[in-house]
Structure 1
Amino acid sequence: MRLRFIGPALAGVLGLSAFVWNADSAPETNHADTYAQLDLFAEILARVQTEYVEGVDEAEVMEASIDGMLTSLDPHSSYLNPEEYRSMQVQASGEYGGLGIEITQQDGFILVVSPMDDTPASRAGIQPGDYISAINGEPIVGQPMNDSLKEMRGAPGTDISLTILREDKEPFDVTLTREIIKQNSVTYHAEDTIGYIRISSFNERTTDSLNDAITSLKRDLGSKMTGLILDLRNNPGGLLNQAVGVSSAFLDGGEVVSTRGRQANDVQRYNARPGERLPDMPIVILINGGSASAAEIVAGALQDHKRATVMGETSFGKGSVQSVIPLGPQRGAIRLTTSRYYTPSNASIQGAGIDPDIEVAQSRLTDEEMEHIETRQKRYSEANLRNALENDQGRERRPPHIPADQPPADYEGEDYQLERALSYLRSTDFATELAHKG
């Protein structure tokens, strides 16, 4: 069985959907150069075993070699030993022990993609774009990401200290208490006559939870409901089939996303199921630099079908699909990038991200941040990760710039982007935009 997911390489949600892996379909590699390189590897391994200054754990050395080969391909390919593979399967079920933090690796550092809502990471104030440089005082720079993940996991109720590097701040330590992470990925409430639904990740229960939320809002607001805000900010992705299911709630058929692999005929198309839940309801989708993968699929699909207005900041730009390929009993699995995905308008967002229809910043940039805006904004994207795949269509991420709309200097509210979305849905500007789209 080969498993497919579209989230980043994470210590939190790992988006998975299963399909068959046929070992007989693996390509043959009967090349003289390959065998010569294998002979070279065997010779180096033998030298290490006999001449290194200390004894080495042969299994650990081999695992590191395999993982090094895979991580050299792109940021999301890696080796999972049997223990890591079992842990990944537990995470996919939507409940596990840990910190609730979504990470990837960049230039030897652990980069925070997003903290999950109401978890130790979010409550400690960890932010997208933070770097983790040490765990319990021990440096982890250059350490394989899987090793860092092992150190972050542990029994619920135990403490862990992370050293955080944040732009324009001195390094600081944060102590977190591990707990069972229950991924209640959908929350909702009403803002007067406007429904608000937040999806924090895409796990096995997301589509069902979304439909329950829509049912509740329709029951509570009835005919008074005038619009919906779908909040996908800091959503790192997850299950591909759940992205299709969520999109289906707002589309009456049509393509949601397509994936294309190495071969020209390796194309799969995923369509929305008929039966839109809120026909003709005005929708605003909120995204930011922490919106990745499955979140980008939903935003891109509804944007391309002109079903929603996308507001916020350019998304992360992860447009690749990873397959988890089991290697047999007690051998673990490999996570391998096998295809790219494309929005209904045939746009690859790899590295480029989804650009909002209306750009709105969450916080106001200081004068110092404006002076270093290029360095600051480059950190929040897939394109800036080491060995990131190129965009095969040549599309590039929007250059660093000062956002068109940001909070005024005297702003004292809690969520400027949400307030702008509410204001937009209540304004005549939205009716004009909707008529233009139609």
Structure 2
Amino acid sequence: VPTIYLGLNIFNALILERNEQKEKETRLFDAFKSLLVAEETAIETGFSHFKTAEPELNKDIDLLIDEIRRVSNPAESPGPEKILSFREESRGKYLRLLDTRVPSDETEFDHEKNLAAIRALERLARRYKKGDNLQPFREIVRLLVAACGHDIHEVRDRANVTLERLMAPKEFDAPLAAQFINLKLFESHRFEFDIPPVKYGYFLRLYRNRLSHDFVLEKELDYIDLDLQADKKTGLFTTQQLFDEPGHYDYLVYKKKKEGACWLSQKGCSGRINVIPDLSGEIILEIFPDIHGHTRVYWDDRTGHPGLVYNENGEVIRLGRFSDITAHLKDLKQRYSITAIYLLGVQKRGNNSEDWAPEATSPSPFSPVSLCEIEPTLGGEEGLRELVEKAHALDIKIIVDMIPHINRKSRAVSDDCIVRCYDDGGNLVERASTDGRYGSWNDG
């Protein structure tokens, strides 16, 4: 057997023998030397000189070959931890934890248990994104969507952040996008980063969102790496990229190391590129005037248009108004190229609080008392006219959603046209109602 056929693992076998030092045995090493001597003789004689080895040496050579085979086929390393399917019992358990109330007061959520539930969902989300099974991944998404409507702000905030980490086309623990850039299809963008020089340099990783997939597991990440070059004039690290496919791309700056690389978490080193196709149709933004302005985009708006406002008891003391939307029209036009706005819940509402759910602090916008009057708390007809005039000046159309039914307390329709119901004594006393009642929603 020519020793070259045995490969480099022959040295692994010899090293193991030396390390074990069983009674100073060198059988494998001696067999290896004998093979080398035989090769030398064969080369010198043109492979025409044959000498039969001693039986004991033949055994040692066989032992050497067996040992090489053994070290060449190490035991199979354990694969990644198997991720079990998300069972119905688990889903029910987390729903109950998210909805757990204080024993002495059913109207108050149990903060500690609710928070423990969302933390557990965060851990599961991280595990499932690293796995290969979409079934539990989807179940976690459903639970997190339900938690986004939780009464405790910390729970809903963590649910929103976890959803963003799950949906982003990058690693779960990677820095979230901190800035957003809108580009047209086939537009080129120059990236610039104010970061200090380092020994091995930097590169920019562009993660592409795969539009053909509902969700992106970590094993399916699709990205390209672009080297960042230092601009001698500005001192900034830059690169340029042409975007020829619609969709969104997350980007992260990575610092190169002697071995591997690590992402940077500092400000300005992460973001998202939205590549928008040249649409020939309208871009319509649906807006609930009550809560417009109560979003992260306008959270820092200090112009007097803050949208929804709560008091120290968590009660709504100011709804959003038409004027909040009017103040943001120019920004909406420039940032998102909005061509139309679809307004919801603008009709005048009732004040029959006896029909509200216990936790409700305002009437339902989908239970109006008039088909044509405008809700005064939103700014009334005057506020709506100002919004329409400013929108038309910016070439933005206004679409108003109309509710075709009215609240049972409304006097806009006579009693002759209203269904009435009976009280406990069988007397026909009250207008019937199938609207105006709403409460907490549960995804279960």
Q: TM-score, normalised by structure 1?
A: 0.22
Q: TM-score, normalised by structure 2?
A: 0.22
Query: Which structure: greater helix fraction?
Result: 2
Q: Which has the higher contact order (CA 8 A, sep 6+)?
A: 1
Larger radius of gyration: 2
